[in-house]
Copies of this chain bind each other. A is one copy, B any other.
Amino acid sequence: MLRFSKKVEYALMALKHIAFTKEVVTAKEISEKYNIPFELLAKILQKLKKENILISTQGINGGYALNKIPSDISLYNIVTVLEGNVAVTECQNGETVCTCSLHDKCTIKDPIGMIQKDIEELFMRKTISDFV
């Protein structure tokens, strides 16, 4: 249904919260405040950290903080980190080979590619600063 995954929703909620509090925030705090399953949220934050969107500190006073200013964290960035890519169809994933069932019979690759590009650009323009 052309929907954002819960992972992306939770990431946006978490990033907004972290951007707003402006200090180290624990996964537990976010999880409890917004009713987000802890383990799921933890893994999302870990992925965001791997992409240098967040920085983390371990140990008893640990937690997460932003590693970029909100306007430098794009929706495109978040979606690609959490879902691999923003491909509106199987063949728009950036790879050269298409394993789609239509094989070489697809007649809509080019126009779909343009829609793909439009959506990518839209997502690049949207940043966390649009959320806070």
Nearest B residue to A118, CB-CB = B122
The residues of A with any CB-CB pair to B shorter than 8 Å are 1-6, 9, 12-13, 16-17, 33-36, 75, 79, 83-90, 101-103, 105-108, 111-112, 114-115, 118-119, 122, 126, 130-131
Query: What's the number of copies of this chain in the assembled complex?
Result: 2
Is A2 a contact of B86 with CB atoms below 8 Å?
A: yes
Which B residues touch A75, using CB under 8 A? 115
- Residues of B within 8 Å of A103, CB to CB, are 35
- By a CB distance below 8 angstroms, the chain B residues around A84 are 1
Contact A114 B101 (CB under 8 A): no
**Bound CA span A77–B96, Å:** 30
Give the complex CA separation of A119 and B86 in angstroms: 14
What are 16 sample pairs from A and B whose C-beta atoms fall under 8 A apart?
A1-B5, A2-B2, A2-B83, A6-B101, A9-B89, A9-B112, A12-B111, A13-B107, A34-B102, A34-B105, A34-B107, A35-B103, A75-B115, A111-B130, A111-B131, A118-B122
